[in-house]
Structure 1
């Protein structure tokens, strides 16, 4: 299969072409504000299966369904409780996924065998235009080979999936850089299942108390059933094994500097890079005090290690506040939760 790169900025018919491919049951890489998505008709089980085949994704890993209008929720979810309306009023369109009981018309392959479904209304105008052109809600996990760092440019998608999908729509680099926040409203209390572009603190400002799933703190066994993508299996990982060093920027940098080998890679804050230059393969992902920039750059930095000869990677990690919680989660997932916590050693 020849994967076509569609450029709406240069080709006026590109959006309609993407919509036609999706209506025909094809899989298309599309831009969103978070990361690029691998989209297919969420209501067409054969089309959704092509997503799993292209990514090499386990089929018990549920997909998020993307909409371009609130009216589309009615054909996806059986109910839209007051808490969902509050979240929609505050954060939609935007990087938030809400898990609700699903309509029967949502195939089990889309929901990962669950009776619930994650719904997101992206703010990216090109994503909205593609959904409208397709005329159906779109299932769209991140557009990468399963387990690899997510894609934040069209070129990343082509690197991973060229020859496996019909097309990629180039919408430029993603503005958020980490996937959407996932919150479930199917239990007694709202539960954060995956941190992302909307922070836990923002959720709490709207909903009050929000439970935090243990998947954010520890590795989930592959045999367990989960309600959202990214909660189990190895995710976001470069080829070399990663060790996360959690602590102040100064302390974590000193810890890493003492353990550099001939083929060590270091993922570090911009302001710590001088400690490692000339001694390791260094990739930076933003200043230590700018978690938003770290979110935009972390996946790009992790992907660049695969073009080097490093055999191990040490990674600095931001504090778990604001969008830093999402960045820390992605780095820890890339490491399989292999974490050196210097704050515990100092306690």
Structure 2
């Protein structure tokens, strides 16, 4: 096994050389680390699926460093989409557009006639794109289904020996993946909630819908995160609703196995945690919780003794919508249920 090289920011040219050679290089964004490959090189893109163990019908997001690049590949960009680009790019908004014929291989699009584009808010990655001269596919740089990586160490943990390099720019700021907005339909629809909220989008282009369609077994999703299990550590995660924490901690203290508690600092300090309980602070408020969620899940995933993780819930509005989307998927929708006397 060839060890994966970790590049410092001063070595971006070396990372770009690997991209142009058809190799995989993980890159930082403001949301999570992405697994980069030249989007115009089908063989390189196939390596992404192999490295992650990702289903081949799960389309990839194309990362760009200019609106002009999107114009090169998209068949049509509406005035509303341009207004969103002006407001949120670079940033945590991904938009899906219909493509010009043969714009990308089916390996990128999952066989669809659309592709998702994002202009990330991270200067190191924008430099990587510009120096390589290529748009980059960039799914989260982790083993498929596991918690997304928010540090270069997380990427190294999952993919060392499977990819050529990692461009290290420290921890990500946002911590949950981008909002995915389908602009290829008559009416815009949010397919995945993220850091750019429904309310923020509506302030720019008016009322929009949120997709509640469950993707069928034989159906190709239009965006990542719509079909397959995501963000799941080995331990069972249970969501703990606001009024159930006292009962949940009481239950955890009585268990013979190790339990992880993933919650705000203040909430952790409210209770006496038994010797079998390990806590991970999400910080204070939903913004810090979103930034720290995946790191917390990953820490518990590295602790073989942890069998159950109790995770805090937040109101599903604003950024809380994205947080709850991710933590709900990690728990498979399971909530802690208070034992009845």
Shorter-chain TM range is over 0.9
**1:31 CA displacement:** 0.6
Q: What residue number does 1:332 align with?
A: 328
**1:245 CA displacement:** 2.5
Task: State whether residues 220 and 233 of structure 1, in contact with CA within 8 Å, keep that contact through their aligned partners in structure 2.
Answer: no
Task: State whether residues 262 and 280 of structure 1, in contact with CA within 8 Å, keep that contact through their aligned partners in structure 2.
Answer: no
Equivalent-residue separation in structure 1 for 2:86 and 2:212 (angstroms):
28
In the alignment, structure 1 residue 205 sits paired with structure 2 residue 203: yes
TM-score (normalised: structure 2):
0.93
Q: What residue number does 1:224 align with?
A: 219
1:96-151 CA-partner distances (Å, limit 9, x unpaired): 10001023221111011111100000110001000001101100000001011011
**1:340 CA displacement:** 5.4
Task: State whether residues 248 and 336 of structure 2, in contact with CA within 8 Å, keep that contact through their aligned partners in structure 1.
Answer: no
Task: State whether residues 33 and 176 of structure 1, in contact with CA within 8 Å, keep that contact through their aligned partners in structure 2.
Answer: yes
Q: What residue number does 1:257 align with?
A: 249
Q: What residue number does 2:149 align with?
A: 151
**1:43 CA displacement:** 1.1
Equivalent-residue separation in structure 2 for 1:71 and 1:307 (angstroms):
42
Equivalent-residue separation in structure 1 for 2:149 and 2:119 (angstroms):
19
**1:210 CA displacement:** 1.2
Q: What residue number does 2:47 align with?
A: 50
Q: What residue number does 1:127 align with?
A: 125
Task: State whether residues 23 and 134 of structure 1, in contact with CA within 8 Å, keep that contact through their aligned partners in structure 2.
Answer: yes
Go from structure 1 to structure 2 and tell me whether the alpha carbon gap of 1:74 and 1:276 turns closer, same or farther (over 3 Å shift): farther
Match of 2:172, SS state, is coil
Task: State whether residues 282 and 289 of structure 2, in contact with CA within 8 Å, keep that contact through their aligned partners in structure 1.
Answer: yes
Equivalent-residue separation in structure 1 for 2:48 and 2:337 (angstroms):
37
In the alignment, structure 1 residue 15 sits paired with structure 2 residue 9: no
Q: Which moved more, 1:223-232 or 1:158-167?
A: 223-232
Match of 2:196, SS state, is coil
Go from structure 1 to structure 2 and tell me whether the alpha carbon gap of 1:314 and 1:55 turns closer, same or farther (over 3 Å shift): same
Task: State whether residues 3 and 162 of structure 1, in contact with CA within 8 Å, keep that contact through their aligned partners in structure 2.
Answer: yes
**1:333 CA displacement:** 0.8
CA RMSD of superposed structures (Å):
1.6
Unaligned runs of 5+ in 2: none
Unaligned runs of 5+ in 1: 343-347
Task: State whether residues 40 and 135 of structure 2, in contact with CA within 8 Å, keep that contact through their aligned partners in structure 1.
Answer: yes
Q: What residue number does 1:345 align with?
A: none
Task: State whether residues 222 and 233 of structure 1, in contact with CA within 8 Å, keep that contact through their aligned partners in structure 2.
Answer: no
Go from structure 1 to structure 2 and tell me whether the alpha carbon gap of 1:138 and 1:99 turns closer, same or farther (over 3 Å shift): same
- The ranges of structure 1 where at least 4 consecutive aligned residues each deviate by more than 3 angstroms after the TM superposition are 219-224, 339-342
**1:80 CA displacement:** 0.8
**1:221 CA displacement:** 4.6
Q: What residue number does 2:113 align with?
A: 115
Go from structure 1 to structure 2 and tell me whether the alpha carbon gap of 1:311 and 1:22 turns closer, same or farther (over 3 Å shift): same
Equivalent-residue separation in structure 2 for 1:86 and 1:262 (angstroms):
56
